[in-house]
Amino acid sequence: MISPHIIRSGLPRRCLFAASSVRSYASQTPGNPMLEVFNRKTKHLQKDRAARNVEESRKVDYLKDEVAMRLCERLLDIKRDFPNVLDLGANSCNIARALTTPYMDEGTPEGVITPPLSSKISKLTCVETSRALLHRDEDMDFNKEIDIHRDVIPDLETLPYQPNTFDAVLSSLSIHWINDLPGLLNQVNAILKPDAPFICAMFGGDTLFELRGSMQLADLERRGGVSPHVSPLADVKDVGSLLNRAGFKMLTVDVEDIVVEFPDTFALMQDLQAMGESNAIMHREAGPISRDVLLANEAIYRTLHMDEDAPGIPATFRMIYMIGWKEGKNQPQPLQRGSGDVNLKDILGGGDFSKP
């Protein structure tokens, strides 16, 4: 028996309880909550604004073009044709440009021109969030040499493609701005056909470590505290497990440093801005960096990182290249650990590093 008193006072609570009575287990809140590291709106605006200044934007494509070239070189190792390819986060279609450039192959005799890689690809879909950036080089000649489809999507983190669609997914210098990297890699794995590769280059951990460090020192000395001025990046050692978790097989991960020389830190920051690669971390300080800090940063950067008599300051960009394959039938499998019967030492010649 329940006394009337308890019913009266417990009425609102009882209604609530009835509505949520099925919740007996711990459950995930809807919408798959995740850690937001980067402000996507800010990033979109930065890319869009940068690309609208066409002349400046083309001038600073040196890094993206170089990396796209190096990424596409990795396609040479795969003796296969790719009818349907996705360029994830295409920027200004740098990959398409690299694919249509005739490359120098050291193996072929001089005078023989190898056909550009684009001959292996029938259809390239370039996807990007910024319309201005994606369509920037629409009228250039390379567009005629490859069948490009440009897709502007509101958000790179949700891909609007059907499972088992693409024969390869390429991505160059784009996914370092993704908040939910595991989620994106899962999607990439889904949209690939079985036994199809995902080939990607992204900025990694130690990129711009000089600027990160000197900015912190300048902030500390001038203002007594630190605010993040360089966005965080994924580390090399995380990439392998990320790919593994998303179900990729036969992983290859390698790292390459590109050091670019700039006349001063202002030129470096200007170029980053024109690339659309400025800081886009959540809760970053509103407004520009104070002039005092900029002045201090320039002095500290030079003292710490400039070689004597060097004409400019070095800035390191660390590229992480990764290749992962979607699981497929008859795919080569790695051998069991410990099943090798040839000693690598014999093949590599003793392994005595002290000899020249």
Partner 1 sequence: MPTKTRPVEKFAKATAQCSVEAAAYGKCVVSDYNSVHKDMCAKEFMRLKDCFLAASKKG
| Closest to 334 in 3D by CA, of 261, 227, 214, 248 | 248
For position 78 contacting partner 1 by CB under 8 A, the verdict is no
Binds partner 1 by CB under 8 A, chosen from 41, 79, 291, 337: 291
Among 84, 252, 270, 290, binds partner 1 (CB under 8 A): 270
Other CB atoms within a 10 A radius of the CB of residue 16 amount to: 10
Q: Which of 143, 103, 140, 107 is nearest to 126 (CA)?
A: 143
Distance (Å, rounded) from C-alpha 113 to C-alpha 34?
49
49 binds partner 1 (CB under 8 A): no
Question: Is 302 a binder of partner 1 (CB under 8 A)?
Answer: yes
Q: Do 235 and 302 contact (CB within 8 A), yes or no?
A: no
Q: Which of 19-27, 68-76, 233-241, 302-310 is the region at the interface with partner 1 (rule: CB under 8 A)?
A: 302-310
Tell me the HSE value of 346 on the side-chain side, using a 13 A CA sphere: 4
Residues 245-264 that bind partner 1 (CB under 8 A): 263-264
Q: Which of 112, 32, 105, 117 is nearest to 72 (CA)?
A: 117
Distance in Å from the first CA to the final CA of the chain:
93
The distance of closest approach from Cβ of residue 301 to partner 1 in the complex, given in angstroms and rounded to an integer, is 8
Residues 201-220 that bind partner 1 (CB under 8 A): 217-218, 220
Per the CB < 8 A criterion, the answer to whether 175 and 181 are in contact is: yes
The correct pick among 300, 315, 322, 323 for binding partner 1 (CB under 8 A) is: 300
**What's the CA angle centered on 118, arms 198 and 202, to 5 degrees?**
35
* Only segment of 109-117, 188-196, 198-206, 265-273 that touches partner 1 (CB under 8 A): 265-273
Should residue 294 be labelled a site residue for partner 1 when binding is judged by CB under 8 A?
yes
The answer to whether 185 touches 245, Cβ cutoff 8 Å, is: yes
Q: Output the smallest distance, CB 277 to partner 1, in A.
A: 16
SS3 readout for 173-213: CCHHHCCCHHHHHHHHHHHECCCCEEEEEEECCCCCHHHHH
Q: Does 313 bind partner 1 (CB under 8 A)?
A: no
Q: Which residues, 130 to 169, sit near partner 1 by CB under 8 A?
A: none
Of 93 and 274, the one with the shorter C-beta distance to partner 1 is 274
Among 6, 16, 54, 299, binds partner 1 (CB under 8 A): 299
If one asks whether residue 285 binds partner 1 (CB under 8 A), the answer comes out as: no
Report the residue from 14, 149, 223, 237 that binds partner 1 according to the rule CB under 8 A.
223
Contacts with partner 1 by CB under 8 A: the residue count is 25
Residue 254's DSSP bridge partners are 321
User: Residues interacting with partner 1, by CB under 8 A?
Assistant: 217-218, 220-224, 263-264, 266-267, 269-270, 291-292, 294-296, 298-304
